[in-house]
Amino acid sequence: MSATVTPFPSLAARTAQVGFERDELMRILDLYGRMVAAGMWRDYAMDFSKDAAVFSAFRRTAERPEARIEKRPALRGKQGMWTLFGEGGQVLKRGHELAGVLFPIERRLLKVVEG
């Protein structure tokens, strides 16, 4: 009687997937929570692929996302791996640092709180 040994797949054999690091996700979810508290966002979705990790925030579930934060490590050496897209798909901000890319949303949140 012989046993067949099936090797466990190695990390190199798996397809790489881009994701958010813990501190990045904490910063994004903190902003999301403040936007929910301000009544501006109600839902979110995350998508992970081999090229990008995407966080989308929605005013209502059935709509297009009001904001989309995308992380593309392949663009790290060019215009920056972070991109903020608006509701129409337009690029609102690109950069190498997440904090700078989130600034337009933070600024809008400050206007809502002050006004």
Within 8 A by CB and 6+ apart from 46, the residues are 20, 53, 54, 55, 56
Q: What is the pLDDT of residue 108?
A: 83
Q: What is the pLDDT of residue 3?
A: 76
In the structure encoding, which two tokens stand for residue 36, read together?
A: 């929910």
Q: Residue ranges of the chain with pLDDT lower than 70?
A: 1-2, 6-15, 61-62, 112-115
Q: What is the pLDDT of residue 101?
A: 95
Q: What is the pLDDT of residue 10?
A: 60
Rounded Cα distance between 31 and 21, Å, is: 16
